[in-house]
Each structure stands twice: as structure tokens, then as C-alpha cells.
């Protein structure tokens, strides 16, 4: 059963169906999700109870989802909000639930890290081999992500690979992890995503916030590996250095000065929040709402994405929604910090928690510049928090689970 779970996780996070067109007609994500639910019901039956979903971050996450549902009648486009919440974001809730149920031991958690390493390597490999350079930026041929999104996905996942570089888990796993770190770093830099560079830098700095959970020599290895990969890419001449230099002159950047730049979008987003503080404009309705707002003030009624995950949640779900979302984020990070420092935790569990800090910092930084609030990766980190909370305090387990795979 856990083997099927690992395949399902690879399909959900690695998304081979987005890169290999032949897989699309078979709907692997839908089929495997349905199969996982049936297997969980068959295996656990009546031993599963509501308290399992409410454990850890589960209660806050369900409340966040409830706020989204409550906002449907008040949405700028009720059909858009309903379809997204009921038929799309509900998959995130299922994803969270399945992960929490299935990953109930340190061994399984380690295997999940290996799958995520394989996911990142798969995407990085396809990007490097099948992608193209256009206007100084590297694009993958798949339809799922643009260069900024590619950087976001990889910076959120590749730090977890270091578990296999820092622990004696076998030579083959070390090679896979090393290949992933090198390939992911190369792709992040080739995308010329300024948000990607900032999030990569933030993740590197976060290594020093992990305390004794990661040895100083291991931290040096972490930074040296990334630095070497970056140096090789720079020497190859493939980096859009001029684009990266614009970070130092952000005041003249189009995102600050242009009518359709991010600063203008965020400013108008805050106007929408002030106008709709309790229910928001409805999940997935930001583009509609900002288009109507622009028309109301006599500007070109262009529909635009928020390009900021936190503005996205605030405007679409209101004060209650953003408060719960930030509480989820803060409590997840607190769990990672607590577990990374708890002497009662297994040493490997402390290392995993420390690497989750690094990955989550990179993830949160990248999310600041992207419309990714409802990404499965946010849900993945929320699930990781609940899993670590359960593994570091096994006496708090809330559901009986049979032994074995």
C-alpha cells in the first residue's frame, strides 16, 4: 500500500503528466487519488476518526477551507469560486489527509524525502534536456509552470535532498541527492527568476538558523555544493546576469513604476481587501475583482493575477482567511524549529526538521512573488508539520494504525 502511496506522491508533486503528453489521457493523478482513498478506507476502516484530520495543523486547515466555502455566496464570480473550492482545492484537503494517514513512522518519512528528491530531479532533468532559452530565460516545454514557478517548485524541494548527503543512507541515494542539488540549482539560476534567486539566498541563510541540528561541517557542505553549482553556471555564460543586477535598482523596475506592475496590483489588492474585509472577493476571483476595480476607477479593465500568495489569500478570503493562513504557516514553522531542537527526538528526525526549516524559508520567500497560495506545496509543508508533531510526540497519536506496509 505504501508503494502505491509513493507512486501517487510522485505523480502529484513531480507531475510527469504535465511533461509527458502520453500520460494525460490516463488521468494518473485522479486515478491514483481515488485508489489511495479506497485503500485507506479498506485498510483502516472504522479505526479512522475525525480526530486524525484535526490533529496538528488539521483543525486550522479545515477552518481555512471552511472560510473559503463561506465566501462563495459573496464572491465576485460565484461559479468560479464554487468550482475552484469544491472541485480543485478539495484535492489539497485530500492530499493533506492521505499524507498524514500514510506517513506514520520515521522510515516512511525518509522514503517520502527520497520521492520528493526524485520529483525535483525529474523536473530539473526534463527542464535541462527539453527546455529552451528565450529572452534570456529558461523555459520548460511543459505547460504547468513558467520560469518563476519552476524556480519556486525546485527551491521548495531540493533542500530536502541534503538529508541523503548528510546521512549514511547509501551511496546510490547520495548520488541521486547530489544530482538533484546540482540540477535544481542550475535550473533555478537559468530561469533568471529574481524571486528564485532571492528565495535561494534566503534558504542558504536559513541554514544558519538551524542551530546544532545540522553540524557546522554539514552546513559548509550545503553552502559549498550550491556555490559550486552556481559558479559552474556563471562560468558557462548561461546566466542572465544583467537581469539579476536589476535587483539592486528595484526603484526603476517596471514592477514599481508600470501601471500593470506588481506594486500597483498589490496596492489595488489592498483596496479590494478594505472593501471586502470579512468575506473577501472569493477564492480564485482576484483577477475578476481587480478587473472590475480598474474599470470602476476609469483604468484599463485588465484582469491580473496577484503575483503574491499572501495578498492573494487576504483579498480572496478576507481577514479571517489570511489570519488562519498565516497561523498555519507560523505554527508549521514553529513545529519544525521545536522538533529540530528537541533532544527527545531521534537525531535523523531533528535533521529532517532542520532541512524543512530551510526548504520552508525558501518556499515562503518565493511565494511572496508568485500566485501560489493554493499550491500543493503549501499543503505539503502543513502536512509535514503534523507528521513531525506526531512522530516527535508518539503518545499523542489520535488513531490506531495497523503495523506493516
Contacts of 251 (CB under 8 A, 6+ apart): none
Looking from the CA of 144 toward its CB, the CA atoms found within 13 Å total 22
- Three-state SS at 319: helix
With residue 355 as reference, give the H or E element that holds it.
Answer: helix 347-367
Contact 387, 109 (CB under 8 A): yes
Give me the numbers of helices (H) and strands (E) for the chain, helices first please. 20, 2
C-alpha cell of residue 229: 553549482
Is there a domain that residue 288 lies in? Answer: no
C-alpha 314/C-alpha 327 separation (Å) is: 13
Residue 45 lies in a domain: yes
d(CA 180, CA 159): 9
For residue 405, being part of any structural domain is answered with no
- If residue 22 lies in a helix (H) or strand (E), which one and from where to where? none
Model-level pTM? Answer: 0.91
Residue 91 has phi, psi (to 5 degrees) of: -65, -30
Within a domain: residue 384?
A: yes
Write the CA distances from 199 to 72, 86, 115, 146, 287, integer angstroms: 33, 32, 22, 16, 25
Provide the domain count of the chain.
Answer: 1
Locate cell 472569493: which residue?
282
- Compute the distance between CA of residue 304 and CA of residue 261 in angstroms, rounded to an integer: 10
CA distance 227 to 2: 36
List per-residue pLDDT tens for the chain, 405 residues long.
899 999 999 999 998 888 777 888 889 999 999 999 898 888 876 666 666 677 789 999 999 999 999 999 999 999 999 999 999 999 999 999 999 999 999 999 999 999 999 999 998 888 888 877 777 787 775 555 788 899 999 999 999 999 998 777 788 999 999 899 989 998 998 888 899 999 999 999 998 888 777 778 778 888 888 888 778 877 777 788 888 888 888 777 777 767 777 888 999 999 999 999 999 999 999 999 998 888 888 777 788 899 999 999 999 999 999 999 999 999 999 999 999 988 778 888 999 999 999 999 999 999 999 999 999 999 999 999 999 998 987 544 333 344 344
Q: Would residue 298 count as lying in a domain? A: no
* Max Cα-Cα span within the chain: 64
The torsion region of residue 237 among left (phi > 0), alpha (psi -120 to 50) and beta comes to left
149: which residues sit within 8 A by CB, 6+ positions away?
370, 372
d(CA 58, CA 65): 10
| Residue 358 to residue 21: CA distance in whole angstroms | 33
| 3-state SS assignment for residue 110 | helix
CA distance 260 to 263: 8
- CA atoms 141, 235, 182, 359: torsion sign: negative
Residue-number span of the structural domain to which 141 is assigned: 2-253+305-396
Report how far residue 262's alpha carbon sits from residue 179's, in angstroms, rounded to the nearest whole number. 35
Residue 331 CB-half CA count within 13 A:
18
CA angle 228, 231, 236 (to 5 degrees): 130
- Report phi then psi at 214, rounded to 5: -120, 125
Give the single-character DSSP code of 270. H
Query: Which residues does 78 contact at the CB level (< 8 Å), separation at least 6?
Result: 72, 282
Q: Strand pairing of 137-139 and 132-134?
A: antiparallel
Residue 273 lies in a domain: no
Interacting residues of 265 by C-beta distance below 8 A, sequence separation 6+: 290, 304, 305, 306, 307, 308, 311
Q: Is residue 380 in a domain?
A: yes
Residue 262 counted as domain residue: no
Amino acid at each position: 500500500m505504501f508503494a502505491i502511496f509513493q507512486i501517487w506522491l510522485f505523480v502529484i508533486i513531480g507531475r510527469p503528466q504535465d511533461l509527458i503528453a502520453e500520460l494525460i489521457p490516463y488521468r494518473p493523478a485522479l486515478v491514483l487519488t481515488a485508489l489511495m482513498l479506497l485503500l485507506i478506507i479498506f485498510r483502516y476502516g472504522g479505526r479512522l476518526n475525525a480526530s486524525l484530520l484535526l490533529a496538528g495543523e488539521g483543525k486550522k486547515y479545515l477552518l481555512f477551507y471552511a472560510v473559503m466555502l463561506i465566501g462563495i455566496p459573496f464572491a465576485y464570480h460565484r461559479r468560479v469560486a464554487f468550482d475552484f473550492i469544491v472541485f480543485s482545492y478539495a484535492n489539497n484537503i485530500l492530499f493533506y489527509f492521505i499524507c498524514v494517514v500514510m506517513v506514520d513512522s520515521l522510515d516512511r518519512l525518509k522514503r517520502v524525502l527520497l520521492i520528493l528528491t526524485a520529483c525535483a530531479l525529474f523536473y530539473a532533468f526534463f527542464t535541462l534536456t527539453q527546455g529552451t532559452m528565450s529572452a534570456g530565460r529558461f523555459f520548460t516545454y511543459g505547460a504547468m509552470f513558467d520560469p518563476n514557478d519552476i524556480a519556486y517548485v525546485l527551491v521548495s524541494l531540493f533542500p530536502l535532498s541534503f538529508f541523503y548527503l548528510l546521512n549514511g543512507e547509501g551511496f546510490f541515494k547520495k548520488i541521486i541527492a547530489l544530482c538533484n542539488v546540482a540540477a535544481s540549482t542550475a535550473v533555478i539560476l537559468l530561469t533568471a527568476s529574481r524571486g528564485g534567486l532571492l528565495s535561494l539566498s534566503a534558504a542558504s541563510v536559513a541554514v544558519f538558523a538551524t542551530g546544532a541540528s545540522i553540524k557546522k561541517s554539514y552546513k559548509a557542505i550545503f553552502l559549498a555544493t550550491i556555490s559550486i553549482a552556481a559558479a559552474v553556471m556563471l562560468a558557462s555564460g548561461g546566466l542572465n546576469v544583467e537581469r539579476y543586477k536589476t535587483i539592486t535598482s528595484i526603484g526603476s523596475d517596471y514592477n514599481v513604476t508600470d501601471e500593470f506592475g506588481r506594486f500597483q496590483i498589490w496596492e489595488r489588492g489592498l483596496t479590494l481587501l478594505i472593501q471586502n474585509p470579512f468575506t473577501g472577493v472569493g477564492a480564485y476571483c482576484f483577477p475578476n475583482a481587480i478587473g472590475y476595480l480598474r474599470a470602476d476607477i476609469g483604468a484599463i479593465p485588465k484582469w491580473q493575477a496577484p503575483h503574491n500568495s499572501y495578498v492573494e489569500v487576504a483579498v480572496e478570503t478576507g481577514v479571517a482567511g489570511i489570519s488562519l493562513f498565516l497561523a498555519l504557516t507560523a505554527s508549521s514553522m514553529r513545529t519544525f524549529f521545536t522538533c529540530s531542537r528537541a533532544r527527545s527526538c531521534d537525531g535523523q528526525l531533528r535533521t529532517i526538521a532542520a532541512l524543512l526549516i530551510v526548504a520552508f524559508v525558501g518556499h515562503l520567500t518565493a511565494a511572496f512573488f508568485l500566485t501560489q497560495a493554493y499550491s500543493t506545496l503549501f499543503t505539503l509543508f502543513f502536512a509535514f508539520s503534523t507528521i513531525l508533531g506526531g512522530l516527535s510526540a508518539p503518545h499523542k497519536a489520535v488513531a490506531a494504525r495497523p503495523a506493516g506496509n
